[in-house]
A and B are shown apart, each in its own frame.
Chain A
Amino acid sequence: MSEPEPPRNLLRFENVTVRFGELTALNDVSFEVKAGETRIILGAAGSGKTVLLKTAMGLNPVSGGKVFLFDEDATGKPEKDLFAVRRRIGMLFQESALFDSMTIAQNVAYPLLNQPGTRASRQDMEKAVRDSLRFVELEQTLSRYPSELSGGMRRRAAIARAVVTKPPLLLYDSPTAGLDPITAHTIMALIIKERDVDNTTALVVTHRYQDGNLVANFRYNPDSGRLDPAAADSETGGMAKDTVFMVLREGRLVFEGKQRELEASSDSYIRKFVKRPEKDAA
């Protein structure tokens, strides 16, 4: 018996519109995410970035259009049917969203205990939790509560929870928001490490261009444990051909393309998100 064919698109939006009462949060948005891609989603506050991620996860009802997850139509599916699909998606929430009343170990073990089809033995679960926390260099925080950790540590613990079931698709909502530059760099390094170690597909929502720049141009070096510049790709201008940039404005997708195209854009809104030191200086 042959293996089932892997899905071509992990996520596809077809003319998706999301409304909350009178407010249109997403307006006719279409794009598709291929396996292995990393999409950097830029946009001002209130432009619909978080709504886009939550809609992809099935947490927001769609007012129009269709959302396909792993080549399956997820639009309007009842919540209990979505649980099986969500098992294959990991999500980092903007404020980490760790459960206050649980220890870090219990937080990271939560998907293993609760997601349908992920039941594991106690030993396997403990190993998975330790491995996941070791991945984010927080193995020493197993029995601590989220309130005892710093903002950066909480964000790392939330990444550990998102990746503990090894999902093929990861959604990161503003992973560096509110963090100092050093901690922000550590978080982005973890995202790149996860991408390169487990070959995951990811959507990274951010308002910092340097986050996208880092993802597009650096690779994780497993030997040194550091980030190294990736080999240049003549086709994209940027280094990584699997990194795609998207820009949202007032719920509309106003740009989708590679780093070179983004940097070449003359649109005043898009230019606000792109750091071009030589032009800025001029």
Chain B
Amino acid sequence: MLASVRSSDPSTGAVLDILKGPILAIQDFYQLTGRALRNLTRKPHHLDDVKLQMDALGFGAIPIVVLTGAFSGAVMALQMGRALQQYGQTGRTGTVVSIILVRELGPVLTSLMVAGRNASGIASELGSMKVTEQIDAMRALGTDPTQKLVTPRMIAMAIMLPCLTVIDDFVGMAGGWVIGKLIYDLDFLQYWSQTWRALVWSDVVQGLLKPFIFSFVISLIGCFYGLRASGGTQGVGRATTQAMVAASVAVLVLDLFLGLIFVPYASY
């Protein structure tokens, strides 16, 4: 069908040629996703690899998540405190910091940080394995690379990213309190009771569901670009950059769509 369109109309054919690459890439990505998900129910389950990846992708990311959380919470408290001061509502700083962090900033910032760190890390690791024929060797030696490399990373990320988000949220609130205390002289109990009372279950659900969904996107995009790497070290570098950019953009785009789903149903 494509051939007939191309022969009858050269300009349409040229457009189809341009579109062929991205469409094939999307098809490959969905096939990889399907295989990775299907492996959840298939033996062998490489649990040792899952633990290893939870350590590398999750625990290894704690420092960067703590730093991001602390400074984002602190900056938010600084700016919001000033805005609220105009209305004599500085005491509500904890409420604003808590809601914004748990609903939006915590999941998104954590996921962006993890996308930058882990999607590129996964892509470079798998890319190096691809260009040095280790992926082929794995297949030759009786292992499905998707089952051995992709599924464990996907599981590890799905477990660890929500946990990292909780850490980010808590550290962010603590960072907000430090600024609240130092700049606006907020009371400890008042701040923390405000942050606690501000949250409802739907905030917590969306605050954990978002990173859970983002985790699949980040890990699968990292694996996808890594397994497609070709052309030696230059190809690995290219795959790393592409994975990081694609994962970050995907997180931001998905966040909007998830927001559109969650916000109408959120109870205030």
Q: Please list the residues of chain A having a beta carbon within 8 angstroms of any beta carbon in chain B.
A: 54, 57, 59, 79-80, 83, 86-87, 89, 91, 93-95, 97-100, 110-111, 114-116, 118, 161
Contacts and interface: CB of A to CB of B under 8 A. Distances in A.
B143 interface: yes
The residue among B132, B133, B136, B138 with the most chain A CB atoms within 10 A of its own CB is B133
B141 A110 contact: yes
B142 A86 contact: yes
B45 interface: no
20 contacts: A54-B136, A59-B139, A79-B139, A83-B142, A86-B140, A87-B142, A93-B136, A93-B137, A97-B132, A97-B136, A98-B134, A98-B137, A100-B128, A110-B141, A111-B142, A114-B142, A114-B143, A115-B141, A115-B142, A116-B142
Question: How extensive is the interface on chain B, given as a class?
Answer: 10 to 19
A263 B144 CA distance: 43
A22 to B, nearest CB: 12
Secondary structure call for the B interface: helix
A91 B140 contact: yes
Contacts of B133: 93-95, 97
B139 A100 contact: no
Contacts of B140: 57, 59, 86, 89, 91, 93
Contacts of B139: 59, 79, 86
B137 A97 contact: yes
Contacts of A114: 141-143
Interface string B106-142: 0000000000000000000000110011101111111
Contacts of B136: 54, 59, 93, 97
Contacts of B137: 91, 93, 97-99
A278 B88 CA distance: 102
Given A94-B133, A99-B138, A114-B142, 6 more contacts: A79-B144, A86-B142, A87-B142, A91-B137, A97-B137, A115-B141
A89 B142 CA distance: 11
Contacts of A111: 141-142
B129 to A, nearest CB: 8
Interface of B: 128-129, 132-134, 136-144
Contacts of A93: 133, 136-137, 140
A157 to B, nearest CB: 12
A111 B129 CA distance: 17
Contacts of B142: 83, 86-87, 111, 114-116, 118
Given A97-B132, A97-B133, A80 B141 contact: no
A81 to B, nearest CB: 12
A95 B132 contact: yes
Contacts of B144: 79-80, 83
A201 to B, nearest CB: 17
A213 B128 CA distance: 35
A102 to B, nearest CB: 10
A38 B142 CA distance: 24
Contacts of A94: 133
A91 B142 CA distance: 12
A115 B141 CA distance: 6
A137 B142 CA distance: 26
Contacts of B128: 100
A80 B129 CA distance: 21
Nearest to B145: A79
A79 B39 CA distance: 14
A203 B267 CA distance: 69
Contacts of A59: 136, 139-140
B155 to A, nearest CB: 18
Nearest to A90: B140
A114 B137 CA distance: 12
Nearest to B148: A114
Contacts of A116: 142
A89 B141 CA distance: 9
A98 B137 CA distance: 8
Contacts of A57: 140
A94 B129 CA distance: 14
B148 to A, nearest CB: 8
3 tightest Cβ-Cβ pairs between the two chains A and B: A115-B142, A97-B137, A97-B133
Contacts of A83: 142, 144
A91 B133 CA distance: 12
